[in-house]
C-alpha cells in the first residue's frame, strides 16, 4: 500500500515516522524544500519524549515537493493546517485515483467535508491524534505522547471495502510503529474529545503565552479552561455526543499529569508566538461556537476566544516588539 503524507511539517513528520517504523511505503510531500532535502539525504531524526527520551534516525522515506512527482497513491493523508486544506486537496489531485482513500487527521470539526469535494464518502477516513508534535529543524521532529492510552483515533466517514481495508492497514502500521491507535466504527466521540482539548489549551496558551500545565496551575487560567470545556461539552451533547464537563476535566487531569505533553507549547501557541502564521481557530473554537448557535447552545467564551485569535493573526505586523 502506497501512502502519501500531504503536509509533512510537525504532525505530518511525526505521524509518518510512526508509519515508517510500522513498515509503511510512505512518501512525504511538502514544499518546505530544506526539510524534504534533509530527510532525503540523511533521513529523519525522530525523537520520542515520554517517561524516557528515545532518539533514532529513520531512513527509507521518499520525498517530494508536490504531488505531481509521486504518481497515484493508495492512501493520501492530509496533515496541512485546516485553513489550507482546500488548496491542499486541490494540489494533491495528481496523486488521487478512482480508488484512492483520502484521510484527514487534522485538528478540528468539519475537515472531512473538504475531502468530499475530491472523493465520495466511501473513500474517506477521518480522525486525529492526541500526542504533541514539533518540527525543531529540517529533518528533526519530536513526538510527545500522552501518559497512556490510544494516541490516534480514526474511522470511516462511510463504511466500504476500501475504507475498511485502508483503515485496518493504517491501524496495524501505527501500532507496529509504536503509536497505539484504533480504527473505530464511530470515531466522532473521539473527535469531540480532541476538539475540546484543543479548543481549550491551544488558544489559551497562545493568548496567555504560557504552557498548558501553567494554565491549570493559575486559578484564573483554570477558570478560563473550565468555562471553555463546559461550553464545548454542552455543544457536543446537543450534537448527539453526551459529554460531562466535570468527568471530562477529571479524565484530562489524570491523563496529562506528568506527561511530556504538558511541557511544550501547543500548535496554536507555536503558530502565534513563534511563527506568526494563521491558525486552526475556525475549526476549533470557531466551529464550536458556530455549531452551538445552530443548536441553540450559547458558547460565549468560545466566541470571544475566536475573535481574539482572529484579531491576533490578522495583525502580526502591527504588534508590539522591542526590536
Q: What is the pLDDT of residues 98-156, one digit of tens each?
A: 999 999 999 899 999 999 999 999 999 999 998 889 999 999 999 999 877 899 999 99
- Claim to verify: residue 163 and residue 195 sit in the same structural domain: no
pLDDT at residue 260 in the model:
57
Spatial separation of the C-alpha atoms in residues 46 and 34, rounded to whole Å: 17
Asked whether residue 236 is assigned to any structural domain, the reply reads: yes
- Claim to verify: residue 8 and residue 143 sit in the same structural domain: yes
| CATH number (domain holding residue 83) | 3.40.50.720
Alpha helices in the chain (DSSP H): 10-21, 33-42, 85-91, 111-115, 161-176, 188-208, 212-217, 219-238, 245-256, 267-269, 285-295, 300-314
Asked whether residue 241 is assigned to any structural domain, the reply reads: yes
- Claim to verify: residue 142 and residue 69 sit in the same structural domain: yes
Asked whether residue 91 is assigned to any structural domain, the reply reads: yes
Q: What is the pLDDT of residues 252-277, one digit of tens each?
A: 887 666 555 667 788 899 999 999 99
Q: Are 107 and 82 in contact (CB under 8 A)?
A: yes
Domain count, the chain: 2
- Claim to verify: residue 151 and residue 208 sit in the same structural domain: no
Q: Are 123 and 99 in contact (CB under 8 A)?
A: yes
- Claim to verify: residue 43 and residue 111 sit in the same structural domain: yes
Domain boundary among 144, 161, 186: 186
- Range of the structural domain that residue 236 is part of: 189-318
Asked whether residue 78 is assigned to any structural domain, the reply reads: yes
- Claim to verify: residue 146 and residue 193 sit in the same structural domain: no
Spatial separation of the C-alpha atoms in residues 283 and 43, rounded to whole Å: 33
- Claim to verify: residue 303 and residue 214 sit in the same structural domain: yes
Asked whether residue 323 is assigned to any structural domain, the reply reads: no
Question: What are the residue ranges in the chain where pLDDT is below 70?
Answer: 255-262, 323
- Claim to verify: residue 152 and residue 295 sit in the same structural domain: no
| CATH number (domain holding residue 236) | 1.10.1040.10
Q: Are 14 and 131 in contact (CB under 8 A)?
A: yes
89 CB-side CA count, 13 A = 20
pLDDT at residue 201 in the model:
94
Q: Return the sign of the alpha-carbon dihedral for residues 4, 199, 154, 115.
A: negative
**Hunting for cell 510527545 — which residue is that?**
144
- Claim to verify: residue 139 and residue 44 sit in the same structural domain: yes
Spatial separation of the C-alpha atoms in residues 273 and 312, rounded to whole Å: 10
Can you give the pTM of this predicted structure? 0.89
pLDDT at residue 256 in the model:
65
Asked whether residue 41 is assigned to any structural domain, the reply reads: yes
When computed from its CA atoms, the radius of gyration of the chain, rounded to whole angstroms, is 19
- Claim to verify: residue 95 and residue 163 sit in the same structural domain: yes
SS3 label, residue 90: helix
- Claim to verify: residue 25 and residue 134 sit in the same structural domain: yes
Domain boundary among 136, 159, 186: 186
Asked whether residue 226 is assigned to any structural domain, the reply reads: yes
Domain boundary among 149, 164, 186: 186
Asked whether residue 264 is assigned to any structural domain, the reply reads: yes
- Claim to verify: residue 229 and residue 128 sit in the same structural domain: no
DSSP track, 183-206: EES--HHHHHHHHHHHHHHHHHHH
Amino acid at each position: 500500500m502506497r501512502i502519501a503524507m500531504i503536509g509533512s511539517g510537525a504532525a505530518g513528520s511525526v505521524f509518518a515516522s510512526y508509519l515508517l517504523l510500522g513498515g509503511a511505503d510512505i512518501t512525504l510531500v511538502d514544499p518546505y524544500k530544506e526539510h524534504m532535502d534533509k530527510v532525503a539525504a540523511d533521513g529523519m531524526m525522530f525523537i520520542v519524549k515520554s517517561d524516557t527520551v528515545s532518539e533514532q534516525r529513520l531512513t527509507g522515506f521518499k520525498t517530494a515537493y508536490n504531488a505531481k512527482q509521486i504518481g497515484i497513491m493508495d492512501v493520501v493523508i492530509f496533515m496541512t493546517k485546516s485553513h489550507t486544506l482546500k488548496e491542499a486537496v486541490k494540489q494533491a489531485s495528481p496523486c488521487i485515483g478512482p480508488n484512492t482513500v483520502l484521510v484527514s487527521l487534522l485538528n478540528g470539526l468539519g475537515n472531512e467535508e473538504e475531502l468530499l469535494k475530491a472523493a465520495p464518502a466511501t473513500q474517506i477516513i477521518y480522525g486525529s491524534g492526541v500526542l504533541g508534535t514539533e518540527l525543531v529543524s529540517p529533518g528533526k521532529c519530536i513526538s510527545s505522547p500522552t501518559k497512556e492510552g490510544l494516541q490516534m483515533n480514526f474511522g470511516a466517514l462511510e463504511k466500504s471495502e476500501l475504507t475498511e481495508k485502508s483503515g485496518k492497514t493504517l491501524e496495524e502500521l501505527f501500532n507496529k510503529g509504536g503509536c497505539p491507535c484504533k480504527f473505530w466504527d464511530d470515531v466522532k466521540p473521539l473527535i469531540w474529545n480532541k476538539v475540546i482539548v484543543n479548543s481549550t489549551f491551544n488558544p489559551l496558551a497562545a493568548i496567555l503565552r504560557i504552557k498548558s500545565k501553567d494554565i491549570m496551575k493559575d486559578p484564573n487560567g483554570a477558570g478560563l479552561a473550565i468555562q471553555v470545556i463546559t461550553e464545548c461539552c454542552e455543544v457536543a451533547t446537543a450534537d448527539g455526543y453526551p459529554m460531562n464537563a466535570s468527568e471530562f476535566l477529571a479524565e484530562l487531569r489524570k491523563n496529562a499529569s506528568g506527561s511530556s505533553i504538558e511541557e511544550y507549547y501547543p500548535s496554536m501557541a507555536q503558530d502565534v508566538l513563534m511563527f506568526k502564521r494563521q491558525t486552526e481557530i475556525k475549526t476549533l473554537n470557531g466551529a464550536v461556537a458556530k455549531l452551538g448557535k445552530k443548536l441553540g447552545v450559547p458558547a460565549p467564551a468560545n466566541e470571544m476566544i475566536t475573535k481574539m485569535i482572529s484579531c491576533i493573526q490578522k495583525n502580526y505586523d502591527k504588534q508590539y516588539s522591542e526590536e
